[in-house]
Amino acid sequence: MMVVVSDHPAFLAAFAEFSFKSHLLLVQKTKLLVFTRIPLHQLQTFPHLHRTLSRTISLVAFVDDTLPGFRTKVFSWLPFTDPESLPTQVASWTIDQRLTFTHPPDLFPQKFWRFPHRPHVLVTAEEIVAQVAFTVDDPTAPEGKRLTFGGMAGYIMEMLSTIMNFTYTYVRSPDRTWGLLQSDGTWTGMMGLITREEVEFTPGPLLLDITRSQWIDYSPFVVMGNYLILAARGRPEVDPWGFLLPLRPKVWVAVLTTLWTVCAAMLLLSFCLPSHMKEPRMTDANTFNCVRVLLQEGNQCLLCCGLC
């Protein structure tokens, strides 16, 4: 909560300009209460003050001590209204009646849920793979064409404009980028449009970043995405003797041991067969079969070896 008490228009105007340039009053984080005896029509002559009071959660309490009872009226300016527009009275205070609410008992009404006057706002967006810019026919737009975006940005803007009751126009940055912080403290791209308040907001998507968070307000999460780090693979190197690399001495010992074990088992099983099922040279065939399987050769090789 920030409370400002002053009867000097120059001080209030300087405070409003300072808060505007330094981003002192962020929309959803700081509440501002101004006490003053300056007439309402005089405050409306300061554009920066109207901009600050209308685009933040703020109230102005006008103190009238000229009348008996010391009356105070509390006003709130709606967002995206002209400086000449009248504010909305939300409460009043007197010594006898104390605090009386004009609307439901909410001293700081939430004025960013739905706009009653359907304002027109400027927003910005850029193209990504699933978010393409294109133009549509619109007789009310310059040259009869209106820029719009498909994908997530288009869906979010259509939903927000319907729920919050506003119209909008897309504005693209001159360099068509998301924005980088320069050495002089200024931003390029979409971030530059937002920080200079040339547009009201962007449907994104903007990645969460500690540097950006010092200049803009993020909404709650809309989309959760998974990102991976990719790198090029190395070129394969052909080694004609590469098949020998995994065959270390222990591997050779295990292979040969398994070979002799299988050969011995096949020989023992061949002796257990009845005499009428035994064939000549079965012992040699069993031995060559084991060697053939180890060398991954076909039956033709076995026949050739047998003939030899």
Domain extents for the chain?
2-101, 120-213, 249-307
DSSP labels, 256-292: HHHHHHHHHHHHHHHHTS-GGG--TTHHHHHHHHHHH
CATH topology of domain 120-213: D-Maltodextrin-Binding Protein; domain 2 (3.40.190)
Give the amino acid at 187: W
Contact by Cβ (8 Å): 126, 172: yes
One digit per residue, pLDDT tens: the chain, 308 residues?
A: 888 888 888 888 888 778 766 666 555 567 888 888 888 777 777 777 887 788 888 888 888 777 666 788 888 888 888 877 788 888 888 877 777 787 666 677 777 788 888 888 899 998 888 788 888 888 777 777 888 888 888 888 999 999 999 999 999 988 888 888 999 888 999 999 988 888 988 887 788 888 888 888 888 877 777 778 888 888 877 777 777 777 778 888 888 888 888 888 877 777 776 666 666 656 666 667 777 777 766 665 544 444 44
pLDDT of residue 295: 72
CATH topology of domain 2-101: Rossmann fold (3.40.50)
Q: Report the distance separating Cα 179 and Cα 206, nearest Å.
A: 10
Q: What is the DSSP letter of 12?
A: H
Phi, psi of 295 (to 5 degrees): -85, 0
Q: Token pair of 62, please?
A: 């006008």
Strand partners, 121: 168
Residue 22: alpha-carbon gap to chain centroid: 25
Q: Which residues contact 113 (CB under 8 A, 6 or more apart)?
A: 164
Give the angle subtended at the CA of 11 by the CAs of 119 and 49, to the nearest 5°: 0
